[in-house]
Amino acid sequence: MTRRDLAGLRTELDALDRDVVEALARRQRLVEAIARLKGDPARVRDPDRVEAVLANVLQAAGLAGLSSAIAEPVWRLLVERCADHEAAWLRSRPEAPRDSCCGCEDGPS
């Protein structure tokens, strides 16, 4: 392998890392949307859902050729950090307006 080959592969890896960051940002926005629906930091963690997510990820990893030794710990950490973010995000939001019927941001319809 030449230095040129290595530099090209590293450039490709850097581009892939940017794609992963974009995907994680999209995941974070979905986590925040789910948090809005849950509305309570105490409802953030759902062990059954975590196991379902991991099962889905491990199946997809197997099909994609990703080692489960990489996929499982990465996703366990990702799900845990997303749950932490979801709970912190909910705690940081101001209380719903008093004229809101259900805690939605639009108020009563």
pLDDT of 104 strictly over 80: no
Q: Report pLDDT digits (tens) over 46-93.
A: 999 999 999 999 999 999 999 999 999 999 999 999 999 999 999 998
The reported pLDDT for the residue numbered 99 is 45
Nearest-5° angle of CA 11, CA 21, CA 92? 155
Residue in this structure with the two tokens 């912190």, named with its chain if needed: 88
Architecture of domain 3-90: Up-down Bundle (1.20)
Average pLDDT, the chain: 89
**Confidence (pTM):** 0.79
The reported pLDDT for the residue numbered 105 is 56
The reported pLDDT for the residue numbered 98 is 42
Q: 53 with 78: CB under 8 angstroms? A: no
Nearest partner of 83 among 35, 24, 33, judged by Cα: 35
